[in-house]
Chains A and B, each alone.
Chain A
Amino acid sequence: MEQHILSLSGLGRSFGSTRAVDRVTLDIPPGQFVGVIGRSGAGKSTLLRLINRLIDPTEGQIRFGGADVTALKGRALRNWRRDCAMIFQQFNLVERLDVLTNVLVGRLADHGFASSMLMRFSDAERALAIRALDRLDLAPQAMQRAGTLSGGQQQRVAIARALVQNPRIMLADEPIASLDPGNATRVMEALRTINREDGITVLVNLHTIDTARAYCDRIIAMRAGRVYFDGTARQLTDDVLRDIYGSEGLPAFDPSVTSTAIRPVVTA
């Protein structure tokens, strides 16, 4: 498979008068594991949705290889979404359908109207789906309704759905924010395995600094829609973190992050 750089230039999106993403310029080389951190509302989710084209940018450009992603329409746009799979905080599975069908949703971009409406998938596709589920230890649950699974299992079903898309990039929007630590670790390990074994670029929004430090080759921090920091975990110092998250009104910051630096909070 050809390897392309995902490059964002001056990418922006405004909602009314608020600039959710403000002139973001980034180059993401193939195979990188990138973590995006920042406060709630800093524009992390919007950034990922812009890349997948779930929302359209108000300015700037996304390029992948020779293609201008921001100009894609119709079938080409659907193919782009297939190529950069997305995983959501709330899993976004169809709870009333079985696990296997949920995974096969990842194949829809390549289907015609009739086969899609009739939910007809080829044996090869079914084999692909069950192998993806098996990789995530979910083959025994393939015939269960997705809604009956635990949160951690549902998120792994969502990863299996992303895998059968044969993506080049995998975007994950706070994939572990609704999970307990055990399940969170399993999901992050699954993403790491996919990144290393399949060479898929992973771009993941995270709330927990420790997770970002443990898994990501590169960390991007956003603040008020802009890229505020871009570097390795080692370069992400406590001073930088305090700037990213702000310490106003916070009686205690996450101890593992703030053990050295934050000045006592003065309240009015």
Chain B
Amino acid sequence: MTAALAAPSSAVLAFERDFAAHRARARVTFVIVSLALVMATLLTADFSGFFRVTQVTLADGTRAERWVILAGIPKLGDYIAKTIPEIRWSTLVSDLGEWFWRWRIWADLLVETVLIAFMATVMGLAGGFVLSFPAARNLAPARWVLWLSRRYLEIARTVPEIVFALIFVFCFGVGPMAGVLAIAVHTAGSLGKLYSEVNENIDMRPLEGVKAAGGSWFDQIRYGAVPQILPNVISYTLLRFEINVRASSIIGYVGAGGLGQELRTAVALGEHTDLSALFVIIFATVMLIDWGSEKLRHRIIGLGRTL
């Protein structure tokens, strides 16, 4: 042992030399990448107007130059202040009643919002699941199949829901169906991508076992791949349902059903307290669904071992 320490062999010396060189290279790379990132951040901030200066009127009536963010923050406060309703302890019930004065309509629209999200998630799950196998590098039966299904998923998830919604409202008319389709297409694109990445990380040996026993490509997927990815599929889908509830509460903005249409009316008519009421409703719903789906996800991941 001591002899080895006293006289390192040539292999050890070679390693020390290579290691030092490797470390030096890594340090240079780190510095270059960090500088590039800082530059890129500053440039994009400048481009999007973060460093702009604007004129403000001070309390004594004089004009002065201020950085746009400092000048804007008070206005944000003003806007929020406008949306806060007047609620007094003595007249609590009637004040709350006044704040949520359209609660019958909002309750119906809330149910519609959640149903749109649910339906869109189910349809997106089906589409994404089917496409995730041909879109996985290790499972695709042919290169052109991989290419086609990947491009399809990319288009489906790159176009924002609101754009799909506009198109579908034009095609199928105003109403929740356009919203369901819009969110479903986007969901299929996102989930298909996520599932296909899960697919690319699976153990291929079970598939080989099925193939060697005379199983077709579909058999390999059904018996070899699906049992491996099922817990992840369920987990991602529930997560997506939460995201879709948020999406479906906006989509009504263009007439595709749900609470969004009320948001639009409130903004257009300057009904500031309605906005805050709607915000409270959406926030409470999303929180509830987050909580519920997280519970469910953990149960399923626990159960997953027997699936």
Q: Are A and B physically bound partners?
A: yes
Task: Write the residues of chain A forming the contact surface with B, with a CB cutoff of 8 angstroms.
Answer: 52, 54, 78-82, 85-86, 88, 90-97, 101, 105-106, 108-109, 111, 113, 116-117, 119, 145, 158, 161-162, 165
Assembly CA distance A99 to B53 (angstroms): 71
Q: Does A88 contact B209, Cβ atoms closer than 8 Å?
A: yes
Q: Determine if A105 and B215 form an interchain contact, defined as CB atoms under 8 angstroms apart.
A: yes
Question: Which residue on chain B has the smallest CB distance to residue A162?
Answer: B213
Can you list 11 A-B pairs with a CB-CB distance of less than 8 A?
A54-B208, A79-B214, A85-B213, A88-B209, A94-B206, A94-B223, A96-B227, A105-B213, A113-B218, A117-B218, A162-B213
B63 at the interface (CB under 8 A from A): no
Distance in angstroms from B117 CB to nearest chain A CB is: 28
Given contact pairs A96-B227, A117-B218, enumerate 4 new A-B contacts (beta carbons under 8 Å).
A81-B213, A92-B209, A145-B306, A161-B213
A119 to B227 Cα, complex, angstroms: 12
Question: A145 and B211 in contact (CB under 8 A), knowing A97-B223, A113-B218?
Answer: no
Residues in A whose Cβ lies below 8 Å from that of B214: 78-82, 108-109, 165
Q: How far is the CA of A114 from the CA of B208 in the complex (A)?
A: 21
Given contacts A96-B228, A145-B305, A82 and B209 within 8 Å (CB-CB)? no
Complex contact A116–B227 (CB within 8 A): no
In the complex, the chain A residue whose C-beta lies closest to that of B212 is A86
Residues on A with beta carbons closer than 8 Å to the beta carbon of B224: 94
Interface string of B194-214 (1 = CB under 8 A from A): 000000000001101111111
CB pair B213 A109 closer than 8 Å: yes
* Interface: B222 (CB within 8 A): yes
Q: Are A52 and B212 in contact (CB under 8 A)?
A: yes
* CB-CB nearest in chain A for B216: A78
Given A81-B211, A108-B223, A117-B222, residue A95 in contact with residue B216 (CB < 8 A): no
CA–CA, A54 and B208, complex, Å: 8
In the bound complex, residues from chain B placing their C-beta under 8 Å from that of A93 are 206, 209
> Which residues of chain B have a CB within 8 Å of any CB of chain A?
205-206, 208-216, 218-219, 222-224, 227-228, 230, 305-307
Chain B min CB distance to A170 (Å): 11
Closest to A52 in B: B212
Contacts known (A97-B223, A145-B306); A92 close to B212, Cβ less than 8 A: yes
A161 to B215, CA, bound (A): 12
Q: Is the interface of B mostly helix, strand, loop or mixed?
A: helix
Alpha-carbon gap, A113 to B215, bound state (A): 10
Task: List residues of chain A with CB within 8 A of the CB of B305.
Answer: 96, 145
Contacts of B228 in A (CB 8 A): 94, 96
Q: How far is the CA of A165 from the CA of B213 in the complex (A)?
A: 7
A197 to B224, CA, bound (A): 31
**Complex: A101 Cα to B213 Cα, angstroms:** 13
B247 → chain A, closest Cβ, in Å?
31
Our pick among B219, B227, B230, B306 for the contact of A108 (Cβ within 8 Å) is: B219
Q: Which of B223, B230, B307 contacts A105 (CB 8 A)?
A: B223
CA distance A81 to B306 in the complex (A): 30
Q: Which residue of A lies closest to B306 (CB)?
A: A145
Taken together as a complex, chains A and B put the C-alpha atoms of A78 and B210 apart, in Å, by 11
Contact across chains for B209 and A94 when beta carbons are under 8 A apart: yes
Ranked 10 nearest A-B pairs via Cβ = A109-B214, A92-B209, A82-B214, A86-B212, A96-B227, A81-B214, A94-B206, A78-B214, A108-B215, A92-B205
In the complex, what residues of A have CB within 8 A of residue B206's CB? 92-95
A residues within 8 A CB of B211? 54, 81
**Chain A contacts of B218 at CB under 8 A?**
113, 116-117
Which residues of chain B are near A79, meaning CB under 8 Å? 214
Minimum distance in angstroms from A108 CB to a CB of chain B: 4
Q: A114 → chain B, closest Cβ, in Å?
A: 10
Cβ 8 A contact of A158, one of B209, B215, B223: B209
**Nearest residue in B to A147 (C-beta to C-beta)?**
B305
Could you tell me the distance between the alpha carbons of A162 and B228 in the complex, rounded to whole angstroms? 22
> Shortest beta-carbon distance, A258 to chain B, in Å?
29
**Chain B, Cβ-Cβ closest to A113:** B218
Chain A residues within an 8 Å CB radius of B205: 88, 90-92
Q: Which residue from A85, A90, A91, A108 sits with its C-beta under 8 Å from B210?
A: A108
**Contact residues in B for A85 (Cβ distance below 8 Å):** 212-213
Given contacts A78-B215, A96-B307, contact A105 B209 (CB under 8 A): yes
Residues of B within 8 A of A119 (CB): 222-223
Kindly provide the distance from the CB of B134 to the nearest chain A CB, expressed in whole angstroms.
Answer: 16
Closest chain A residue to B211, Cβ basis: A54
A97 touches B227 (CB 8 A): yes
Q: Which of B209, B218, B219, B230 has the most CB of A within 10 A?
A: B209
**Cβ of A86 to closest chain B Cβ, rounded Å:** 4
B208 touches A92 (CB 8 A): yes
A100 to chain B, nearest CB (A): 13
Q: Are A82 and B213 in contact, CB atoms less than 8 angstroms apart?
A: yes
Most buried by B among A86, A91, A96, A111: A96
Q: Are A105 and B227 in contact (CB under 8 A)?
A: no
Chain A residue at smallest Cβ distance from B219: A108
Closest approach, in angstroms, between the C-beta of A124 and any C-beta of chain B?
A: 18
Closest to B305 in A: A145
Contacts of A81 in B (CB 8 A): 211-214
